[in-house]
Structure 1
Amino acid sequence: MWLRYRAPYDWPAMLAFLAARCIPGIERCQGEVYRRSFEWCGRPGTVQVSPANGAQLRVELSGVAPGAVAALVARLRRVFDLDAEPARIQAELGRDALMAQLLARRPGLRVAQGWDGFEQAMRTVLGQQVTVAAAMTLAGRLVQRHGQPLALAAAGLSHVFPRASAIAGLTLEGLGMPRARAVTLTTLANALLASPDLLDPGQASHTALERLLKLKGIGPWSAQYLALRQLGDADALPLGDVALIKALQVLEGVEADLAHRAQAWRPWRAYAAQHLWTSLSDLRPPVASQAQ
C-alpha cells in the first residue's frame, strides 16, 4: 500500500533517526528501507517502509489479517508523523530566526513517534544518561531474553518486542544496567498493565505527565520525552536533554539558555527539539544524546 503525506518530507532524516535506534532483532535499516517486527491483534507480523514517488511512502505488510489493516495504517501514520502540516509549522516556528535557519536546512523534518507505549517507555528508561548506542545494546539484550521469537525469522528480524506482562515482576539482572534503572523498567511495565491508557497518544499531556511523574524512576526528562515521542504532544520539550543544550550552544553560543529560548518556539517545541537534535548530525564526533 501507499501512504500519502503533505510534502515536503525529510525521509533521509527520518531514516537516520530510526537507523541509529534500531533494536537488534526487531528492527533493521538497509538502503532506504526500514523494517520491523511487531505484534498486532495477538499475531506477529512485519512491516517494510520505503520512500515512493508522489509524496507517499510505500508499505509492505505481512502477518496481518485483512480486518486489522486499517487500524495498523493509523498506527503507521502516527509513527512516521504523516499527518503533520509542514507549511503551518514552517510559518509559525519559522518566526524565530534560529528555527527559520534550521527549517530551511531540513524542510519537512518530522518527529518520529514510538511504536507503542510500552516499547517507547522501555526505550526511554534504557536511554537515561547513556548514549543511543549503549541504550540499543541494552534493548537488544532485553529483546533476546524476553521477546517472542518469530517463527519465520528473516531480513535480520528474529523477535517481537516483549510484552509488558513478560517484564512485570522480573528483576532484569544481568542486562548491564544500574539496579535502579532495572527497577524502573518493571515499575513501568506494572503501571501500564494496571493503566493501559497511561501512554495513549492524543491525551492531555498535563494529565499523563502528572501520572508519569508519580512513578519511581521517572523524572521530568523522561516524562517530557515520552510526551514528545509517544503522546504526540507537539509542544513537549525535555529541557534537561544534554544534546539539546549542546546544539543550542553550538548554534547561538555558550550563554544561550534553552528554557528561555524555547518560549519563542511554542506551540511547536517538539519540532524545534527535533531540528536541534538533527543539527548535531554533522558534528564529529557525535554528541551523546539521551533521545531514544
Structure 2
Amino acid sequence: MSPFPAKYGYRRSVRAQGVLTIWLSYQPPFHWPSLLGFLTARCIGGIETVANGVYTRTAVLGGRHVLVQVRAGRGHHLILTVRGLPPAALPGLVAKVRRVFALNAQPVEVEAQLGRDPLMARLIAARPGLRVPQGWDGFEQAMRTVLGQQISVAGAMTLAGRLVARYGQALSLPLHVPDTGLTHVFPQPTAIVEQDLSGLGMPRSRAATLSTVARAVLDEPQLLQPGADLDQCLRRLCQLRGIGPWSAQYLALRQLGAADALPLGDVALVKALRLLEGQDAQLADRSQAWSPWRAYAAQHLWASLS
C-alpha cells in the first residue's frame, strides 16, 4: 500500500489483476445508509446497481470503459474499487467520486448552523452527517433531471433505462459482469441530440427538451461544470425550452454543488414539510431560516419521506 499526503484525501493499494483499490477519507459524521438509499432508488438499469451495500456503475474515463464500486470502509473512509482505469485517469476519478459522494463536506459546520431551526435539528438528529449527493457528470444529471419532470422517481428511472439501452454504448467485453446486469455506459450527447426520443414513452415536449439540453451541452461544455457562476448558469438554463425554475434549481443543487439551491416547486419537498409541520406550512417562507444551507435542508426533507 502506498500512502498519499492527507491533502489528496485518499490512499491506494497496488494493482491486483487489473483492480485498483482506493481508500477515500471524509470528515465525520457520515450517514451512509441514507446516501446509499438515495442511490438505490435512482439506479439506471444497465449502468448502475446497488447490492449488498455496494454501489456499482459503469463509466468512461480516459477514453476507456471502467467499472467503479464504492462501499463503506472502516474508520472514516469509503472504499473505491475500479477496474480498467488508465493510470493517468486516477486523480480525475478520485475527484469525481469525492464530489459525487460529497466527501469534502464539513457536516459539523453545516449542522451547527442548520440545526438552529427546530425542524432541521430534529431531522439532523435522525440522520447526522446526511450528505447532498452529486451527479456523475453534467450531461447525465441533466438527462435525469428532465426525465424526472412531473413523474415519479421510478418512472423517470424506467425512461432512463430505455435511453441507455437504445443509445448507450455497449460495455466493453473485459468489463462485462453478467450477474450485475451492467451492459452499457451512459449515452453521449452526440448519440441523442438529433434523435426523436418520444418513442421511449414520453411526451414529445419532454423528448424535445432532452435534445435541446444535449445541444446546449455540446455547444457550451462548461455549462454544467461544478463551481460555475450560479446566477449566470440559472439564467442560461432557464433560457432553454423546457427548463424552468424547478429543473434549474435542481441542477444547481445536484450538479453545480450550490449549497443554498432549493427547487421551491418540488412536490415532494412540500409534502414532506406539511407532514412534519402541518398543512399550513409554506416552503418558501420556512426555507428562509435554512439559508445558506437550503440544499441540505432539502435533502433532509426528501430523506424524511423514506
CA drift at 1:31:
1.2
The aligned residue for residue 237 of structure 2 is 212
Instruction: Give CA deviations for 1:150-198 in whole Å, capped at 9, x if unaligned.
Output: 1222132100000011111111131000000000000000000000000
Partner of 2:54: 33
How many residues align? The count is 281
TM-score normalised by structure 1 residue count:
0.95
Alpha-carbon distance, 1:238 to partner: 0.2
Partner of 1:160: 185
SS at 1:236 equivalent: coil
Alignment correspondent of 1:72:
93
After TM superposition, the structure 1 stretch with the greater mean CA deviation from structure 2, 152-161 or 211-220, is 152-161
d(CA) in 1 for partners of 2:214, 2:123: 37
Pick one of 93, 96, 106 that aligns with 1:85. 106
Task: Identify which of 243, 251, 265 aligns with 1:226.
Answer: 251
Paired residues for 1:249-268 under 5 Å: 249-268=274-293
What residue is the counterpart of 1:289 in the other structure?
none
1:265-284 deviation line (CA, Å, top 9, x unaligned): 00000000000000000xxx
Deviation at 1:263, TM superposition (A): 0.3
**Which AA in structure 2 matches 1:158?**
T
Displacement of 1:41: 2.0
Rounded Cα–Cα distance in structure 2 between residues aligned with 1:203 and 1:103: 29
Aligned to 1:131: 152
Please identify the structure whose Cα radius of gyration is greater. Answer: 2
TM-score by length of 2: 0.91
How many Å separate the matches in 1 of 2:112 and 2:281?
Answer: 24
Q: Which residue of 1 aligns with 2:5?
A: none
Once the two structures are overlaid, the 10-residue window that deviates more, 35-44 or 224-233, is 35-44
Question: How far off its partner does 1:253 sit?
Answer: 0.4
Match of 2:7 in 1: none
**% identical aligned pairs:** 62
The answer on 1:106 being equivalent to 2:131 is: no
Give distance in 2, aligned partners of 1:122 and 1:173. Answer: 14
Partner of 2:23: 2
- Give 2:228's match in structure 1, choosing from 203, 212, 219: 203
**Unpaired segments ≥5 residues, structure 2:** 1-21
Residue 148 in 1 paired to residue 169 in 2?
yes
Letter matched to residue 184 of structure 1:
T
Bigger relative contact order, structure 1 or 2, given CA contacts below 8 A and separation 6+? 1
CA RMSD in angstroms comes to 0.6
Aligned residues of 2:62 and 2:88 also touching (Cα < 8 A)? no
Cα deviation for residue 43 of structure 1 reads 1.1
What stretches of structure 1 of length at least 5 have no aligned partner?
282-292
Matched with 2:17 is none
Q: Deviations over 1:70-98 (max 9, x none)?
A: 11100000000000001001110001010
Shift >2 Å, 4+ stretches: none
**Which whole-Å CA distance do the structure 1 matches of 2:261 and 2:30 have between them?**
21
1:55 corresponding residue in structure 2: 76
